[in-house]
Structure 1
Amino acid sequence: MKLREIIPDRIGFGTAPLGNMFRAVPDDEARATVQAAWDEGIRYFDTAPLYGAGLAELRLGQVISQQPRDAYVLSSKVGRIILDEEEVGARDLGEKGALFEHGRKNKIVHEWTAEATERSLEGSLTRLGVDRLDIVWVHDIAQDFHGDAWLQKFEEARTGAFRVLSRLRDQGVIRAWGLGVNRTEPIELTLALDEPQPDGFLLAGRYTLLDHEHALQRLLPMAAEQGVGMVVGGPYSSGILAGGTHFEYADASPEIVEKVRRIREITDRYAVSIKAAALQFSLAHPVSVAAVPGATKPSRIAEDIAAVQEKIPAGFWVDLRQSGLVSPQAPLPEGA
């Protein structure tokens, strides 16, 4: 089934920050943020076991498990099993080792075999307090977590998770599956396989105002040709396009800070919100189905919805293009 037939709106809610990404978020603040998303009409929620070692799933489930299950679309991810025992020492998360240092201390098993996929799904359903997932993403089989060993992990997933999720989709247990990664290469490799194909993918941080040229070269043309949709994760590039200081889950480099300053010059000139520019750019590509910005404060939800709806003058996009801040190949929002 096509992602556009499953995901109801252009904006969803990403729960990585609810796993205590960057800071320890109080439980009542996390719950209020999810409740605000529901109250504002958000009906697509994305989560993962990795986020705080199950913390984000638990917090999300406290709210959405109280709602009618057919009233929303839910996606989570496979590749991580959360154990009851606690981790001893620092976690090995590749380039993102300290990302969830404020999360739960439970040990995480990283595995993409068929058996591990089934266990991962069972754990997610338990933490979320629901009986089914709509979409399942195969999580992080990419270079940023595994370095040169990523192809080995990809093969483990190809013969394990891919086949389990294809079977579950065919049986109607889930509605769709795909990859949830921060790099384009694993998705390109998957789309080139002569096997059961994914229904879509969640690409985090690689189709934003700050980083989109690589995705435009090969991945997005392949996806368009095959009719495969994209959910845009991290549309604010870890926060720097929303007033924060992080890019790629770390402190932004001087080069990125300068690029954001140049974008802000143009947004200020046209009295445009930089969040609106970021979200609307990511959604303008024909392959884009939805964006899932994350939040830990209830007020951010209304801001995100307003950003999608904000009217941006066509001249803004023309200036952005002429300033060399977006690729000549990038589709711009309607009217630009």
Structure 2
Amino acid sequence: MNLRQLLPTRIGFGTAPMGNMFRAIPDDEVTATLNAAWDHGIRYYDTAPLYGAGLAEIRLGGLLSSKPRDTFVLSTKVGRVILDEVESGARDLGEKGTLFEHGRPNKILHEWTAEATESSIEGSLKRLGVDRLDIVWVHDIAQDFYGDDWLQKFEEARTGAFRVLSRLRDEGVIKAWGLGVNRTEPIELTLALDEPQPDGFLLAGRYTLLDHAHALQRLLPTAAEQGVSMVVGGPYSSGVLAGGTHFEYQEAPPEILEKVRRIKELTARHGVSIKAAALQFSLAHPVTAAVIPGATRPSRIAEDLAALDEPVPSAFWRELRESSLVSSCAPLPGGV
């Protein structure tokens, strides 16, 4: 199914922060934030077993399990099976280090076989308290987690998860599937396969104001040719575009902070919020079906929705391009 037909709005809610990403978030703060998202009309929610070893799914389920199932669209991911066994010591998350060190201590099995895919979906349904999923993303079969071994993980997913999800889609159990990754190469490889094709992909951090040139080179032209849509995750680049200090899930390096400073200087001159610039940039590409910023405070929901509709003058976009702060190939709002 085309994601544009499936997703109810162009903005959804990404729940990685709900898994205690970077910090331990009190339950009452989580509940207030999720309720604010629902009350403001957010009806697309994305989550994953990895986020806090099931914590984000459990917390999201606290909201969605009480809502009529036909009133929202839900996506989660496969590739990580959460076990009852408790794990001691630091997790190995590749470049992501201690990203969810404040999550649940449950052991995580990293596996993309057919059996693990079925088990992952079953576990997600239980934690979420729902009877079905709409979209399932194949999670993190990429270099940032597995280095030079990522192609082995990809092959495991190709012969396991891809085929299971294609079958479930054909049977009407799920409505769509694709990849949920932080790198472009796995998606490019998938789109080149002579096998059942994905309906779309979730690309986190690779189509933002700070990082988009690589996606524009090959991935997005190919996706446009094949009619495959993109959900943009991490539109604020792990928070550095929204007042935070993280980029790529780590402390932002000086060159990124300098680029953010230049963008903020430009937004201030044109009276534009940086959130508006970030969200509207990511949504301007024809392949983008939705953007899913995360939040840990209720006030952030209203900010995001306001940013989505904030008037941004064409002069801002022109100067952004002229200052080489965005690629000359990037589509900009209003056809600039």
When normalised by structure 1's length, the TM-score is 1.00
> Which amino acid in the other structure matches residue 282 of structure 1?
S
1:133-282 pair list within 5 angstroms:
133-282=133-282
Looking at structure 2, the residues matched to 38 and 86 of structure 1 have their Cα atoms a distance apart, in angstroms, of 33
Question: Aligned with 2:291: secondary structure?
Answer: strand
Provide the residue aligned with 2:22 in structure 1.
22
Distance 2:263 2:56 in 1: 32
Shift of 1:39: 0.2
1:116-169 residue CA offsets vs partner (Å, 9 max, x unmatched): 000000000000000000000000000000000000000000000000000000
Partner SS, residue 127 of structure 1 = helix
Structure 2 Cα separation of the partners of residues 102 and 90 of structure 1: 11
CA distance in 1, matches of 2:87, 2:307: 40
Residue identity (%): 80
Separation in 2, partners of 1:115, 1:247: 35
Q: 1:2 and 2:20 equivalent?
A: no
Task: Describe the SS at the equivalent of 2:202.
Answer: strand
Shift of 1:335: 5.0
Unaligned runs of 5+ in 2: none
Measure, in 2, the Cα distance between the counterparts of 1:61 and 1:28.
15
Which residues in structure 2 correspond to 1:29-40 (within 5 Å)? 29-40=29-40
1:31-73 per-position Cα deviation (integer Å, ceiling 9, x unaligned): 1111110000000000000000000000000011101000000
Secondary structure of 1:108's counterpart equals strand
TM-fit CA distance, 1:334: 1.6
Distance, in Å, in 1 between the alignment partners of 2:90 and 2:245 is: 24
CA distance in 2, matches of 1:273, 1:122: 41
SS at match of 1:334: helix
Which amino acid is the alignment partner of residue 198 of structure 1?
P
Secondary structure of the equivalent of 2:207? coil
SS of residue in 1 equivalent to 2:104: coil
Return the alpha-carbon distance in structure 2 between the equivalents of residues 51 and 32 of structure 1.
Answer: 19
Following the alignment from structure 1 to structure 2, what is the Cα–Cα distance between the partners of residues 331 and 251?
Answer: 29
2:75 is paired with a residue whose SS is strand
SS in 1 for 2:137: strand
Partner of 2:329: 329
Q: How does 1:30-109 map to 2 (within 5 A)?
A: 30-109=30-109
1:119 aligns to 2:116 (yes or no): no
Q: Matches of 2:186 and 2:116 in 1, distance apart?
A: 20
Structure 1 runs of 4+ off > 2 angstroms?
A: none
Matched letter for residue 92 of structure 1? D
Aligned to 1:285: 285
Instruction: Quote the Cα distance in structure 1 between the aligned partners of 2:128 and 2:29.
Output: 18
Deviations 1:145-199 (A, max 9, x none): 0000000000000000000000000000000000000000000000000000000
Deviation, 1:226, is: 0.1
CA displacement at 1:112 relative to structure 2 = 0.1
CA deviations 1:274-333 (Å, max 9, x no partner) are 000000000000000000000010110000000101000000000000000000000001
Question: d(CA) in 1 for partners of 2:47 and 2:228?
Answer: 21
- Paired AA for residue 251 in structure 2: D
String of CA shifts for 1:75-125, please: whole Å, max 9, x gaps: 000000001111121101111120000010000000000000000000000
Rounded Cα–Cα distance in structure 2 between residues aligned with 1:276 and 1:210: 14
One-letter identity of the residue aligned with 1:107: K
Q: Distance in 2 between matches of 1:28 and 1:61?
A: 15
Scaled by the length of structure 2, the TM-score of the pair is 1.00
Give the secondary-structure state (helix, strand or coil) at the position aligned to 2:138: strand
